[in-house]
Structure 1
Amino acid sequence: MGKTQITQITPFDFVSALILGELVGNAVYDKEITISKVIFAVVVWGLLIFVTEILTQKKKGLRKLLEGEPSIVIRQGKIDYKVLKKAHLDINQLQHLLRAKGIFSIRECQYAILETDGAISVLRKSSYSSPTLKDLNMPPSRVTLPVTLIMDGQVEVDNLQMIEWDRDKLFDEIRKHGIHSEKEVLYAEWKEGEPLHVQRY
């Protein structure tokens, strides 16, 4: 699992750990099972987990299936009830997660993203940022959400359409960084009014 913390494990990792514990626990209390069988079961299950981890890193579709994907539960300052319901989250739970991030009113939040591990990531409205523009008597600026365009060498087509870009536009931008293929890019992020952020492998 690498440097993944206990709070960051996915449901699949959690179930895998439980099954591994059951394999060892049942073997310890069953007199008919020898130590070689225990080692064999642990090695086989460990290899399955390892192979699955490798596949989820390589295959985007499998990653979504086993690990899920983040959900935007607050968009442009408004709660997306359909997404909230799909995530089996109620308003009280959402408020609890927001308070843990120091936000005590939903009106302070521009975007809130429910991560795959159940944590929430929040982007405040510009007028509630620290120090706040309100305190400085300055007009609030428009808040936009950064959009990932390339991840692990693969173009995020849905995100590309969201910002009304096509592949030609994207490749024109990454060529400015001396890159000729998306396979060379670990991560590329778009944000309105700023140059494309690109990181190579």
Structure 2
Amino acid sequence: MAGLAYVLLITAVRASGKRALSKMNAFDLVVTVALGSTLATILLNRQVSLAEGALALALLVALQFITAWTSVRFGSVRRLVKAQPTLLLRDGHMLRSAMTEQRVTPDEVCQAIRTQGIGAIEDVGAVVLETDGGFSVVPRSQFGSGSALNGVARPQAAPSPPA
């Protein structure tokens, strides 16, 4: 039974596509945890048959597919399911209101900048908190018209001076 349940899980993950294996947004994480929980239930609960477990896995994958499909086509669904990336630093200035709203410290922003091999905040065009919780750092030297920042939430308040 355990071997078949494992094969079912692998099949379900493969059927759900690359999203299940990539950096996840909150929705993808919830579905992945639910898949694991369903596998545990199949393995540990004798009252749940393999067929019922397979149906539950298939239902989760189908719901994830439907949600992903509709979020690609409809902005209202996308806004409901996915967080919007947030601009945390622009032109060397930390945007404190955005950082407070996203619960990000200046030290975390500086760490992201250092990770990219940049030593001076003034050399950074933008730092974005992405939907998967990671930071994207755009050096000022590669900062053009800002098209890569389309769809990024920008705070209304003026930027704070560098830390």
TM over 0.5: yes
- 1:1-40 to 2 correspondence within 5 Å? 2-4=17-19, 6=21, 8-40=23-55
Larger relative CO (CA 8 A, sep 6+): 1 or 2? 2
Contact 1:70 1:116 in 2 (8 A): yes
| Aligned equivalent of 1:89 | 104
Q: TM-score, normalised by structure 1?
A: 0.60
Cα deviation, 1:145-173, whole Å, max 9, x if unaligned, reads: 22677xxxxxx8x9xxxxxxxxxxxxxxx
Aligned runs of 1:1-201 on 2, under 5 Å? 2-4=17-19, 6=21, 8-126=23-141, 144-146=145-147
Residues 67 and 116, structure 1, Cα contact 8 Å, conserved in 2: yes
Q: Note the C-alpha offset of 1:16.
A: 0.7
CA distance in 1, matches of 2:135, 2:109: 9
Moved runs in structure 1, 4+ residues, more than 3 A? 1-7
**For the residues of structure 1 that align with 2:91 and 2:145, how far apart are their CA atoms?**
9
Per-residue CA deviation, residues 20-51 of structure 1 (Å, 9 max, x unaligned), is 11112112111111111111111111111111
Relative to its length, the structure with more helix (as a share) is 2
Task: Give 1:70 shift.
Answer: 1.1
> Partner amino acid for 1:83?
A
Cα offset for 1:52? 0.7
1:114 touches 1:121 (CA, 8 Å); kept in 2?
A: yes
Identity, % of aligned pairs? 20
| Structure with more strand by fraction | 1
2:131 aligns to what SS in structure 1?
A: coil
Root-mean-square deviation (Å): 2.5
TM-score (normalised: structure 2) = 0.73
Compute the displacement of 1:144 (Å): 4.1
- 2:92 and 2:121 in contact (8 A); partners too: yes
Q: Secondary structure at the match of 1:8?
A: coil
5+ residue gaps, structure 1, are: 130-141, 150-155, 159-201
What is the DSSP-based 3-state SS (H/G/I as helix, E as strand, rest coil) of the residue aligned with 2:27? helix
